[in-house]
Amino acid sequence: MEAIYEAAIELLTEGGWEAVTVGEIERRSGVSRGTFYLRFPTRDALVDYVGERMMAELLEHQAMIFTPLMAGGEISVEHAAALAVRGMVDVFEKTGRVMARTVRADPPPRDMVAVADLDRDVATVLRRGVGDDPQMRGAIEFSIELCFAALVARHRPVRTFQDHRALTREEFVAHLSDSVGAYLTEQVRRLRD
């Protein structure tokens, strides 16, 4: 099972769900076709297994990262932005490249649960910096969408702009944290004025 799972993850990373074929799984895992079909009667059964296991691993990893970040009292907007961005980067480092490739037109409910959990956790961290004012909800949501879009774009196997220099992980985290922190600081200032 482990060899099949690892082969499926490799294939997902390289080419998305379309790349996950029984023949490629057989070749990469060293598991015979007969053994594969004993475990998974169809390719769709494998896709379901891989998706469920991947989401379970993601949720576990996410909880490990965000639980300590959500604890505590109020902090500065900049610190909250830095914590939230670094937390999202850490989650994506484990599964981001695979997540970016596994987007499906009909995401199963388990995928939506993982996204909703990540959204909730990041919002909780950001509220530590901006407070609980309902008028800040839109600014928090926009900040999360900005981070998510930046992370998906960063983990895509093909760069959109060929001539730009790829940022290191720390440069990426710093620039994204600064952008989110500056945006939220401005939104808090406007709310108070």
The CATH number for 157's domain is 1.10.357
The DSSP code sequence of 75-128 is --HHHHHHHHHHHHHHHHHHHHHHHHH---SS--HHHHHHHHHHHHHHHHHHHH
111 and 179 assigned to the same domain: yes
Q: Which residues contact 116 (CB under 8 A, 6 or more apart)?
A: none
- Measured CA to CA, the distance from residue 137 to residue 150 in angstroms comes to 20
At 140 the pLDDT is 95
Q: Given pLDDT bands bounded at 50, 70 and 90, which one contains residue 78?
A: very high
Asked if residue 131 belongs to a domain, the reply is yes
93 and 134 assigned to the same domain: yes
- Which 3 state secondary structure label does DSSP give 55? helix
163 and 128 assigned to the same domain: yes
8 and 36 assigned to the same domain: yes
- Measured CA to CA, the distance from residue 126 to residue 79 in angstroms comes to 9
The DSSP code sequence of 112-181 is HHHHHHHHHHHHHHHHHHH-S-GGGHHHHHHHHHHHHHHHHHHHSSS-S-TTSPPPPHHHHHHHHHHHHH
71 and 117 assigned to the same domain: yes
How does the average pLDDT of the chain come out, rounded?
A: 84
- Which 3 state secondary structure label does DSSP give 74? coil
6 and 75 assigned to the same domain: no
Reply yes or no on whether the pLDDT at 189 is more than 80: yes
118 and 28 assigned to the same domain: no
Residues 139-188 pLDDT 10s: 999 999 999 888 877 776 555 566 556 788 899 999 999 999 999 999 99
> Angle at which helices 169-192 and 77-101 pack, to 10 degrees?
130
Asked if residue 116 belongs to a domain, the reply is yes
> Angle at which helices 43-70 and 77-101 pack, to 10 degrees?
170
- Measured CA to CA, the distance from residue 51 to residue 109 in angstroms comes to 11
Asked if residue 47 belongs to a domain, the reply is no
How many domains would you assign to the chain? 2
- Domain holding 68, by residue range, is 52-192
Residues 112-144 pLDDT 10s: 667 788 889 999 999 999 998 999 999 999 999
